[in-house]
């Protein structure tokens, strides 16, 4: 994946995360920390949402790491912000 593809994925995932955050009234990082510590939803109707929310957030974390790694590779070749932009486009 190139930088533009990774960034597009990040934005699409963030849109999905915002839907969950608005629905449940908490930020995804707070939700995810509770979820991975084993906290169960109090309402069985939330189970599918929580599973999907966790999956989307985990993928978002992975794409963030992918983006940082690719940016670091590019920064070794191009030190300016203009160089980064040219590489990303």
Assign 40 to helix, strand or coil: coil
Q: What pLDDT does residue 22 have?
A: 98
Domain boundaries, given as residue ranges, for the chain: 3-88
**pTM of the prediction?**
0.85
Q: What percent of the chain has pLDDT over 90?
A: 64
Helices 28-36 & 47-77, crossing angle to 10 degrees?
Answer: 110
Q: What pLDDT does residue 88 have?
A: 67
Q: pLDDT higher for 11 or 39? A: 11
Assign 25 to helix, strand or coil: coil
Tell me how many degrees the CA angle 82-79-75 measures, rounded to the nearest 5: 100
Assign 30 to helix, strand or coil: helix
Location of structure tokens 């978002």: 60
């Amino acid at each position: 994946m190139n930088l533009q593809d990774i960034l597009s994925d990040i934005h699409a995932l963030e849109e999905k995360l915002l839907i969950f955050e608005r629905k449940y009234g908490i930020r995804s990082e707070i939700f995810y920390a509770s979820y991975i510590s084993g906290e169960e939803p109090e309402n069985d109707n939330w189970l599918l949402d929580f599973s999907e929310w966790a999956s989307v957030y985990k993928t978002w974390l992975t794409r963030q790491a992918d983006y940082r790694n690719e940016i670091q590779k590019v920064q070794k070749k191009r030190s300016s912000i203009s160089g980064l932009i040219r590489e990303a486009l």
